[in-house]
Amino acid sequence: MLQDDGSSSVTSSSPLQVFPVMSLSPGLGFGSSNQWLKELKSEERGLYLIHLLLACASHVASGSLENANISLDHISQLASPSGDTMQRIASYFNEALADRILRSWPGLFKALRSTKLSVVSEEILVRKMFFEIFPFLKVAFVVTNQAIIEAMEGEKMVHIVDLNAAEPLQWRALLQDLSARPEGPPHLRITGVHQQKEVLDQMAHVLTQEAEKLDIPFQFNQVVSTLESLDVEKLRVKTGEALAISSIMQLHTLLAHDNEKKSPLPLKHKNGVTLPRALINQNTFGEFLEKDMANGCSPSNDTASSSPLCSTGSSKMDSFLNALWGLSPKVMVVTEQDSNHNATTLMERLSESLHFYAALFDCLESTLPRTSLERIKVEKMLLGEEIKSIVACEGIERKERHEKLEKWFQRFDTAGFGNVPLSYYAMLQARRLLQSYSCEGYKIKEVNGCVVICWQDRALFSVSSWRCRK
């Protein structure tokens, strides 16, 4: 797999040294004169696919649709959703770039999607597969529960608000931990927020049964809503309750700016850039991306502004955090993807998300065979849809707006929350859980009192704990 540590280099004799001097033009195909492309080794083909994706994204960003179409065709012939890691990733990024172009013609886009079926049961199943295959959510659940138990020590009335109430196993484990408290279990109320009622019904059934078995006073409240449309009053926080809030991979969906444009593509049909003249024998995936961005595959001037750390916040996010602060939670535990997929330009988002999803696809490569139906479903129905949101969508339609931990620190601090360093025991539980996995690529880092879950040295998810700063 192509990683940041330089584990997959391209030799100096590689035919890849030739292709950068060629422009992607209508006359350039994959005929006999380019047979060498089909004979590339996996690492070489992977680098070429990255190069093509960056070139294609540059064409799309500048509105050069003819060149973008050629790039998409070339990528399609080398990529495969059933191939090696880079071929699979390229397939989904290629689809996302094509989807971005289609969205500029709303009539065509809507017509092509008019008969698409969205099966709720399949979506639920795929998210359960993600939970089972990867350790990320399990680590988040363990750390979140431990932070809540420590914050609620001695409390007799505990109310937990779950902003993504999709998996009952987390709270089932908490019920078991609370039943073992020396002072006895508290009266526990959990309010679950989810847009699908059947998910909440299932959670209510499982947790009510578990509470009865453990003889814990328990109540489960359902709030059927998206996070964006959530009325905080419906959480029904009562005086005298000790409140905990859990948010797992949800808050980033509120980061859209009110004045963001919706159209993903400048509608100007002109000749775009050609492939850069740089050699493609960089030692690492990261080095290649950096050099390729510098040598020509960069956005046009009218789209080239980055998203600085101190940029204006989203009013939706500001309002939501202010509302949560007004509830005075004793603890709020937040899990988020630890990557910057919220830059204003397509090129920045594409290069950063290539790193992030390459690591996730590499996890799958190390865990499941390429023919695994579970793997294919997770890649297409979950990871592929996230990639599509990051690359193809703009404005309020772009929901996957992942940001780095340091930005969340700044955002929570501005909203009046102070960081609560996670305990040694929480860190120990996280490390023990990862050690139970046979795969050696997973790692835990402690960053400013927070847990950061990594694949090799690539940070993927963070878990942080907060409380109101009065």
In this structure, the answer to whether residues 99 and 220 fall within a common structural domain is no
What are 362's two structure tokens? 């590499």
User: What pLDDT, on the 0 to 100 scale, is given for residue 1?
Assistant: 44
In a domain, 454, yes or no: yes
What are 247's two structure tokens? 């948010």
Residue after which a domain boundary falls, among 107, 130, 146: 107
User: What pLDDT, on the 0 to 100 scale, is given for residue 117?
Assistant: 75
In a domain, 389, yes or no: no
pTM equals: 0.84
- The contacts of residue 295 (CB under 8 Å, 6+ apart) are 276, 277, 278
In this structure, the answer to whether residues 181 and 323 fall within a common structural domain is yes
In this structure, the answer to whether residues 57 and 157 fall within a common structural domain is no
Distances (CA, A) of 431 to 50, 130, 148, 381, 435: 34, 20, 18, 29, 6
Q: Report yes or no: 136 and 170 within 8 Å, Cβ to Cβ.
A: no
Residue after which a domain boundary falls, among 107, 129, 150: 107
In a domain, 430, yes or no: yes
In this structure, the answer to whether residues 186 and 236 fall within a common structural domain is yes
What are 321's two structure tokens? 């955090």
The 10s digit of each residue's pLDDT in 246-293 is 999 999 999 987 666 565 555 444 443 333 333 333 344 444 454 444
In a domain, 46, yes or no: yes
In this structure, the answer to whether residues 183 and 329 fall within a common structural domain is yes
User: What pLDDT, on the 0 to 100 scale, is given for residue 206?
Assistant: 97
In this structure, the answer to whether residues 217 and 324 fall within a common structural domain is yes
Distance CA 220, CA 299 (A): 49
In a domain, 141, yes or no: yes
**SS3 per-residue string spanning the chain:** CCCCCCCCCCCCCCHHHCHHHCCCCCCCCCCHHHHHHHCCCHHHHHHHHHHHHHHHHHHHHHCCHHHHHHHHHHHHHHCCCCCCHHHHHHHHHHHHHHHHHHCCCHHHHHHHHCCCCCCHHHHHHHHHHHHHHCCHHHHHHHHHHHHHHHHCCCCCEEEEEECCCCCCHHHHHHHHHHHCCCCCCCEEEEEEEECCHHHHHHHHHHHHHHHHHHCCCEEEEEEECCCCCCCHHHHCCCCCCEEEEEEECCHHHHCCCCCCCCCCCCCCCCCCCCCCCCCCCCCCHHHHHHHHHHCCCCCCHHHCCCCCCCCCCCHHHHHHHHHHHHCCCCEEEEEEEECCCCCCCHHHHHHHHHHHHHHHHHHHHHHCCCCCHHHHHHHHHHHHHHHHHHHHCCHHHCCCCCECHHHHHHHHHHCCEEECCCCHHHHHHHHHHHHCCCCCCEEEEEECCEEEEEECCEEEEEEEEEEECC
- CA Rg, the chain, in Å? 24
Domain that includes residue 456, residue range = 120-260+315-338+402-468
Number of domains in the chain: 2
Distances (CA, A) of 381 to 1, 373, 398: 22, 12, 17
In this structure, the answer to whether residues 133 and 222 fall within a common structural domain is yes
User: For residue 215, what is the domain's CATH number?
Assistant: 3.40.50.150
In this structure, the answer to whether residues 154 and 53 fall within a common structural domain is no
Distances (CA, A) of 255 to 64, 134, 313, 314, 343: 29, 26, 8, 5, 11
In this structure, the answer to whether residues 45 and 151 fall within a common structural domain is no
- Please report, in tens digits, the pLDDT of each residue of the chain (470 residues total): 444 443 333 333 333 333 443 344 444 445 444 666 667 788 889 899 999 999 999 999 999 999 999 999 999 999 999 999 999 999 999 999 999 999 988 898 889 888 887 777 788 899 999 999 999 999 999 999 999 999 999 999 999 999 999 999 999 999 999 999 999 999 999 999 999 999 999 999 999 999 999 999 999 999 999 999 999 999 999 999 999 999 999 999 999 876 665 655 554 444 433 333 333 333 444 444 544 444 444 444 333 333 333 344 678 899 999 999 999 999 999 999 999 999 999 999 999 999 999 999 999 999 999 999 999 999 999 999 999 999 999 998 999 999 999 999 999 999 999 999 999 999 999 999 998 887 789 999 999 999 999 999 999 999 999 999 87
